[in-house]
Structure 1
Amino acid sequence: FYFFIRMYFTEEKLGQAEKTELDAQFENLMSRADCTKHWTEKIYRQTEVLLQPNPSARIEEFLFEKLDWKVPSRVTNAELLGQYMQDAAKEFDLGTPYGNTLEKVGECEKRLGEAEREFLQTSAISFLTPLRNFLEGDWRTISKERRLLENLRLDLDACKTRVKKAKVAEAKAATAPDFQETRPRNYVLSASASAAEHELRIAQTEFDRQAEVTRLLLEGISSTHVNHLRCLHEFVEAQAAYYKQCHLHMQELQKELGRLPNAFALNSTNAIATPSMVTEGSSSPVETDTLKIEEVQAPATGTRKARVLYDYDAADSSELSLLADELITVYTVPGMDSDWLIGEKGNHKGKVPVTYLELLS
């Protein structure tokens, strides 16, 4: 039987046999399903790469899942970096500016790593798992039913061909000159045609039933799209929450570093703030909070050039906004916080944070 089906399929390919065509709507449903499978697979694979760039780790996780073993919890790169920084801080002495800063930055990196791990877990559950369930569940069922439908279609086409051949043979026998003498043979041909028609009716019924089952499964692709749309929204929300959390952690770290004693800032201040820099007639040291920028004058000596490392937006009118890589003139005045300098560029001047500058010789 299967040999006959394969032979008939070959004849069909060569244009020597009739092929039962499916309606346009059914063909459209199959095309849409194939497109869904193709792009779901690509999105799934690339999301895996995004969440776990290490191919060896992906293979290991895949094997653990297939063997139904618990996937080991991995330390993220940020957590590992944070641990190294904190270990180094202990070696360098937490009492030094460098050691203290390493401790703070390491702690922040660990928090970033924890946020990343939470994001990976959330995305795997809310986005990756539904996509994989479709590919390994619904799509396999659809593929199985489509293969069965194709086999029934070939069977139906074979039955149609047998009926056609039986009717042609019967017609030829009826028009033969020796019709009366070949009457017994004609009865056999008629019975053969009737049997072929009976097989055709059965094959048509089975084909129609399978086509309806397959059609219902293909129409379910619309529900799949709705489900994947919801999962996509959850994935975006998880990403947004992760990046927001990282941003907050970095802002807190910057504030903490701004409050820490900075050896770089102290050295710079010592190099600039000397008694000879105090202008004549200057009074006792002024408090930073009451410093009037417009009244500050650059000292005759002690000014230095500095290159801006990062963009900085002034918090108020007493501060100076900065752009990365621009050169400005900086100096200090008595009573200023060691973490700040007075910066000038063109006709503008204001306080600038030392940590945003690279002082030039």
Structure 2
Amino acid sequence: MDFNMKKLASDAGVFFTRAVQFTEEKLGQAEKTELDAHFENLLARADTTKNWTEKILRQTEVLLQPNPSARVEEFLYEKLDRKVPSRVTNGELLAQYMIEAANDFGPQSPYGKTLIKVGETERRLGGAERDFIHSASINFLTPLRNFLEGDWRTISKERRILQNRRLDLDACKARLKKAKAAEAKAALWSDEVEKAEHELRMAQTEFDRQAEVTRLLLEGISSTHVNHLRCLHEFAEAQATYYAQCYQYMLDLQKQLGSSRGEMLPGTFVGNTEATSPPPATASPTVMPAAAGPAIPTLPVVPTVAGAPDGAPAIEALNPSDVKPPASGTRKARALYDYEAADSTELSLLSDEMITVYSLPGMDPDWLMGERGNQKGKVPVTYLELLS
């Protein structure tokens, strides 16, 4: 009991001495042992590594699990050394709702069939997300946590010890200085000087030893960067794989929906937003019959030139070289597809080429007059992208 009390009193005395030394340094009343520039750079680099690692870790956790309540729950399970329960992803939950809805609406109905197809794709997306989260947690988050909870704690502990060793060293320097000042006044204080010098040598040795230990740990930050670099590559590869899987799943779903939508809703879908093949050119002198209902005889529409007498030849029969462009109303157009002219009144097109187009009075609205240099001729509107 006496030994423990003595040790406690000794520790309290050391703590008080360090506190006094620290306060005097802050007030500018005591000298402070400065570390060399290289050591200070190592300390700054370690602090920067720790700060950014914490930020990257937290934001990656938010990316993988946006729900803060779920993150807190997973954190508590990890701290309690218990297995984190398997959690259904949002995609898998959506898939479950869609399939259950399809069963209620009728799995053979058009809506039910589509719900099942989309639900199955969402389930696959949810599974891919689960695999990505698992891979990112093991290959990226775990190494970051290990650094913060392992290496950085060790570095912080040794830095605190080094700080205490420095305070002890500076306190010994201050005592020696006071002892020498007193010795100048009275020779009886020589023993105090010798004692202070011995304490200073011991403190200097402890400080140097601790500085070397801390230096080695701080230089190990370079190895930490190399390890985190490898983990970052693995994280990027896992994310690329995840997005590639999602893209392929959605392509497969689009193909399924595209092949069946005409069966489910006939007559509703008239084509993709991006045409994969050129639309048929509409013949100008003919009117197409109605798609449904009894056949109604129709007369061919013969376009005429404005101001020409009845029975005058149509524009299609005119020589394109004789056609004059209007004073205004010409536009630029880009050919969407290749087009082979049917006769001398039409102009052949090459995909992506630019031409000048304009309309003439009495001309079929499905056609425009096109010009390319000295060449002129009719072109179908469906093959063009009109530019402003």
The alignment's TM-score, normalised by the length of structure 2, stands at: 0.68
Distance 1:85 1:40 in 2: 40
User: Which amino acid in the other structure matches residue 160 of structure 2?
Assistant: R
The one-character-per-residue Cα deviations of 1:57-81 (angstroms, maximum 9, x if unpaired) are 0000001111111101111011111
Distance 2:53 2:263 in 1: 54
Structure 1: 5+ residue runs without aligned partners? Answer: 174-185, 271-289, 304-313, 322-344, 351-361
- SS of the equivalent of 2:251 reads helix
Q: Match for residue 64 of structure 1?
A: 77
Q: How far off is 1:8 after superposition?
A: 1.4
Question: Does 1:4 pair with 2:4?
Answer: no
Question: Does 1:104 pair with 2:117?
Answer: yes
Decide whether the 8 Å contact of 2:25 with 2:32 is kept in 1: yes
Q: Match for residue 381 of structure 2?
A: 347
Distance 1:266 1:139 in 2: 66
Decide whether the 8 Å contact of 2:183 with 2:189 is kept in 1: yes
Decide whether the 8 Å contact of 1:119 with 1:242 is kept in 2: yes
The one-character-per-residue Cα deviations of 1:117-156 (angstroms, maximum 9, x if unpaired) are 0000000000000000000000000000000000000000
Task: Give the alignment of 1:12-23 within 5 angstroms.
Answer: 12-23=25-36
Decide whether the 8 Å contact of 1:97 with 1:262 is kept in 2: no
> Which has a greater percent of helix?
1
The one-character-per-residue Cα deviations of 1:310-355 (angstroms, maximum 9, x if unpaired) are xxxx9999xx99xxxxxxxxxxxxxxxxxxxxxxx971259xxxxx
CA pair 235-296 structure 1, distance change in 2 beyond 3 A: farther
Distance 1:238 1:217 in 2: 31
CA pair 259-144 structure 1, distance change in 2 beyond 3 A: same
Decide whether the 8 Å contact of 1:12 with 1:18 is kept in 2: yes
Decide whether the 8 Å contact of 2:262 with 2:269 is kept in 1: no
Q: How far off is 1:294 after superposition?
A: 3.6
User: Which amino acid in the other structure matches residue 51 of structure 2?
Assistant: H
The alignment's TM-score, normalised by the length of structure 1, stands at: 0.73
Distance 1:103 1:120 in 2: 25
CA pair 4-316 structure 1, distance change in 2 beyond 3 A: farther
Distance 2:81 2:236 in 1: 29
Q: Match for residue 201 of structure 2?
A: 201
Q: How far off is 1:54 after superposition?
A: 0.3
Distance 2:251 2:111 in 1: 20
Distance 2:196 2:58 in 1: 50
- SS of the equivalent of 1:266 reads coil
Q: How far off is 1:293 after superposition?
A: 2.2
Question: Does 1:76 pair with 2:89?
Answer: yes
Decide whether the 8 Å contact of 2:279 with 2:382 is kept in 1: no
Residue 120 of structure 1, aligned match among 112, 117, 133: 133
Distance 2:278 2:166 in 1: 90
CA pair 7-253 structure 1, distance change in 2 beyond 3 A: same
Computing the radius of gyration from Cα coordinates, the structure with the larger value is 2
Residue 165 of structure 2, aligned match among 152, 175, 182: 152
The runs of at least 4 aligned residues of structure 1 exceeding 6 Å deviation read 295-298, 314-317
Distance 1:38 1:254 in 2: 45
- SS of the equivalent of 2:35 reads coil
The one-character-per-residue Cα deviations of 1:196-252 (angstroms, maximum 9, x if unpaired) are 000000000000000000000000001000100100110100000000000000000
Distance 2:269 2:95 in 1: 30
